[in-house]
């Protein structure tokens, strides 16, 4: 199962919709500039919406987080331990908001501050950036991890 961040996809969708009035204006007023800009906006929004959605995939007992491929990705790839979670080793999970200093320390530079704080059985803390997910998606991620944890105990 894979969950893709819906908020980012919606952003690119609405950006693409903004290109449509530019195309209409260009056709009415015979303006090549607005037509070209409208087409560029639509093309970029389609490409970015398809190519760059962050998400989390659940395969067996491992949850793997796929980050946005720009911004904090250089630090994230170095800190790969933060993005791979063995769900049966999770002790607790909660939604937290990190301060700017905590974000720099744990995950690098991000725009928003909503994270899942995952405490592992070993005592390590992992943070997943979930600001781009809807509340329903965040709850589904938490439920999936908790269910894997519970099914392992049985």
> In which region does residue 123 sit, left (phi positive, over 0), alpha (psi from -120 to 50) or beta (all else)?
left
- Per the listing, tokens 């037509």 go with 35
The distance in angstroms from the start CA to the end CA of the chain is 22
pLDDT digits (tens, 9 = 90+) for 75-114: 444 445 457 788 888 889 999 998 888 877 766 666 778 8
Please give the mean pLDDT across all residues of the chain: 76
Q: Do 45 and 72 lie in a common domain?
A: no
Which range marks the domain in which residue 88 is found? Answer: 55-153
* The overall pTM is greater than 0.85: no
Q: What is the DSSP letter of 61?
A: T
Q: Do 63 and 18 lie in a common domain?
A: no
Domain CATH number, residue 139: 2.30.29
């Amino acid at each position: 199962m894979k969950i893709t961040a819906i908020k980012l996809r919606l952003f690119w969708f609405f950006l693409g919709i903004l290109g449509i009035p530019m195309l209409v204006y260009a056709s009415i007023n015979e303006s090549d500039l607005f037509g070209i800009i409208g087409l560029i906006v639509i093309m970029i929004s389609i490409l970015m919406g398809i190519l760059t959605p962050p998400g989390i995939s659940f395969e067996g007992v491992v949850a793997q987080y796929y980050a946005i491929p720009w911004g904090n990705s250089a630090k994230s790839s170095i800190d790969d331990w933060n993005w791979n979670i063995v769900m049966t080793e999770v002790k607790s999970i909660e939604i937290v908001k990190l301060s700017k200093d905590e974000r720099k320390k744990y995950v690098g530079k991000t725009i928003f501050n909503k994270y899942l704080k995952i405490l592992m059985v070993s005592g390590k803390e992992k943070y997943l950036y979930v600001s781009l997910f809807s509340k329903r998606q965040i709850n589904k991620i938490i439920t999936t991890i908790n269910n894997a944890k519970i099914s392992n105990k049985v």
